[in-house]
Structure 1
Amino acid sequence: MVLIEVEGRVSVPHTLELHLRREPDDVDAWSVYADWLSEQGDARGELISLSHRLAEPGLPQEQHSALRLRSRALIQRHLPAWRDGLELPRGCRLDWRDGFIVGVRLLWDGDTLDALATLRAHPTARLLAALEIDCRIGGRRLGNQGAQRLAASSALQGLAQLDLGAAQIGNAGVEALVHAGWIEQLRALDLSHNRIGPAGVEALASAGSLGQLRELRLSHNRVRVAGVEALAASTTLEQLRALDLSSNPLGTAGLAALGSSPLLAHLIELDLSRTYDAPGEDHVKALAHVGLGGLGGLGGLGGLGGLVVLRLRDNLVRRGGLEALACTGGLPRLVRLDLGDNQIHDGLDVLLSGATFPRLVHLGLRHNHLGAQGPEALARSGALPALQHLDLSGNYIGDEGLVTLASSALLPRLRELSLSDNELGPGGLAALASALGPVKILDLSWNHLGDDGASILARCTALQELESLSLSRTGIGPEGAAALARSGALGHLVRLDLSHAPIGPAGAEALAHALALGRLEVLGLRGTAVGDAGVTALAGSHTLGALTRLDLTRVGVGSEGIRALADAEALPHLTEVTLTHNEIGRAARKALSTTLAPRRRPGRWALGAAPGVDDGIVRPGVDTGARR
Structure 2
Amino acid sequence: MIRGEVCFVRDEGEEGAQRARPRHLMCAAQSWPAQLLRALELAGWDQVPEEDHDELRARIDDSLHARGEAGQGAQDGAARSSSAMIAAAVLEPARAARRLRPEVAQAWVFADRLQAQGDARGELLALELAAEHTEDPSQARMLQRERARLWAPRRARINERLAGLRLRFVGGFLIGAHPEGASQIGRLLAAEAAETLARVRLDFCTQEELARLVDGATVHGRTVAVLDLPNSRTSDLGVLGRLPRLRRLRVGERFSPGVLAELPSLRALSLVGRGQLRGEQLGLRRELERLECSPRDASALAGIGARLPALEWLSLGRAKLEGLAQLGPVPKLEVLRLPGEALRELDGLEALPSLRELQCRPGTLRLVRELPEALAAPHTLERLALLGSKVGELDALAGLPHLRHLALVSTRVGELEPLRRLAQLRSVQLEGGDMRRVSGLARLEQLEQLGLGKLANVDLAALRELPRLHTLTLRPGGRRPRGLEALASLSALRRLSMPMEVFAALDDPASALAGVEVLELVGEGWPPLDFVAALARLRRLLLPGRSERDPWIDAVRERAPEVVVHIHLPPRDLLDHRDLYDWRAGPWPRELPRAGAL
Normalising to structure 1: TM-score of the pair? Answer: 0.65
What is the rounded CA distance, in whole Å, between the counterparts of 1:454 and 1:510 in structure 2? 16
Deviations 1:24-74 (A, max 9, x none): 974554333212222134454344445555676xx7xxx342453244123
- Aligned-partner SS, 1:230: helix
Verify the 8 A CA contact 1:105 1:132 in the aligned structure 2. Answer: yes
Is residue 485 of structure 2 the alignment partner of residue 482 of structure 1? Answer: yes
- Structure 1 residue 78: Cα displacement: 0.8
Q: Which residue of the partner structure matches residue 195 of structure 1?
A: 254
Offset of residue 333 of structure 1: 2.0
Name the counterpart of 2:511.
Answer: 513
What is the CA deviation profile of residues 97-118 of structure 1, one whole-angstrom value per residue up to 9, with x for unaligned ones?
1221111111123x13421233
Distance 1:162 1:590 in 2: 28
Pick from 348, 359, 371 the counterpart of residue 351 of structure 1.
Answer: 371
How many residue pairs get matched? 463
Over 3 Å counting, the alpha-carbon distance change for 1:51 and 1:359 in structure 2 is: farther
SS state at 1:314 partner: strand
Q: Aligned pair in 2 of structure 1 residues 315, 510: CA closer, same or farther (>3 Å)?
A: same
Q: 1:243 aligns with which of 272, 291, 315?
A: 291
The letter of the residue matching 1:309 is V
Verify: 1:31 aligned to 2:32, yes or no: no
Q: 1:491 to 1:544 in 2, by over 3 A?
A: farther
Of residues 539, 543, 555, the one that matches 1:595 is 555
1:79 Cα offset (Å): 1.1
Go from structure 1 to structure 2 and tell me whether the alpha carbon gap of 1:539 and 1:445 turns closer, same or farther (over 3 Å shift): farther
Mapped contact 2:268–2:290 kept (Cα < 8 A):
yes
Q: Per-residue deviation at 1:448? A: 2.4
CA contact (8 A) 2:543 2:565 kept: no
Aligned to 2:173: 100
Query: Residues 83 and 413 (structure 1 numbering): CA distance in 2 closer, same or farther, change over 3 Å?
Result: same
Q: Aligned runs of 1:7-406 on 2, under 5 Å?
A: 26-27=103-104, 29-42=106-119, 44-49=121-126, 63-86=135-158, 87=160, 92-109=165-182, 111-119=183-191, 121-122=192-193, 125-135=194-204, 141-142=205-206, 144-153=207-216, 154-155=219-220, 157-170=222-235, 173-178=236-241, 180=242, 183-191=243-251, 193-196=252-255, 200-201=256-257, 203-207=258-262, 210-225=263-278, 228-232=279-283, 234=284, 237-245=285-293, 247-249=294-296, 251-256=297-302, 259=303, 262-276=306-320, 283-285=321-323, 287-288=324-325, 291-292=326-327, 294=328, 298=329, 304-318=330-344, 321-322=345-346, 324-325=347-348, 328-329=349-350, 331-340=352-361, 343-355=363-375, 356-366=377-387, 368-373=388-393, 375-378=394-397, 381-382=398-399, 384-398=400-414, 401-403=415-417, 405-406=418-419
1:605 counterpart (562, 568, 572): 568
Letter in 1 for 2:378: F
Structure 2 distance, partners of 1:482, 1:48, is 38
Q: Secondary structure at the match of 2:308?
A: helix
Q: Distance in 1 between matches of 2:523 and 2:316?
A: 36
Give distance in 2, aligned partners of 1:579 and 1:346.
Answer: 45
Structure 1 residue 495, shift from structure 2 partner: 1.4
- When normalised by structure 2's length, the TM-score is 0.68
Alpha carbons 1:513, 1:542 under 8 Å: kept:
no
- Note the alpha carbon deviations across 1:384-431, whole angstroms, 9 max, x for none: 222111001210212xx224x34x412x42222012224332x844x3
Per the alignment, in what secondary structure is the counterpart of residue 419 of structure 1? strand
CA contact (8 A) 2:494 2:518 kept: yes
Per-residue deviation at 1:376?
2.9
Amino acid at match of 2:396: A
Q: CA deviation at 1:446?
A: 0.9
Change in Cα spacing, 1:51 to 1:513, as seen in structure 2 (3 Å) is: closer
d(CA) in 2 for partners of 1:107 and 1:578? 17
CA contact (8 A) 1:513 1:543 kept: no
CA–CA distance in structure 1, aligned partners of residues 120 and 300 of structure 2: 52
TM superposition shift of 1:309? 1.4
- Cα distance in 1 between the residues matched to 2:199 and 2:117: 26
Distance 1:66 1:545 in 2: 8
Structure 1 residues 494 and 29: CA distance shift in structure 2, 3 A: closer
- Quick one: distance in 2 between partners of 1:575 and 1:255? 40
Counterpart residue type for residue 494 of structure 2: L
Distance (Å, rounded) in 2 between the aligned partners of 1:577 and 1:353: 42
Task: Tell me by how many angstroms 1:351 deviates.
Answer: 2.3
Q: Which consecutive unaligned segments of at least 5 residues does structure 1 have?
A: 1-9, 11-23, 136-140, 277-282, 299-303, 549-572, 581-588, 608-628
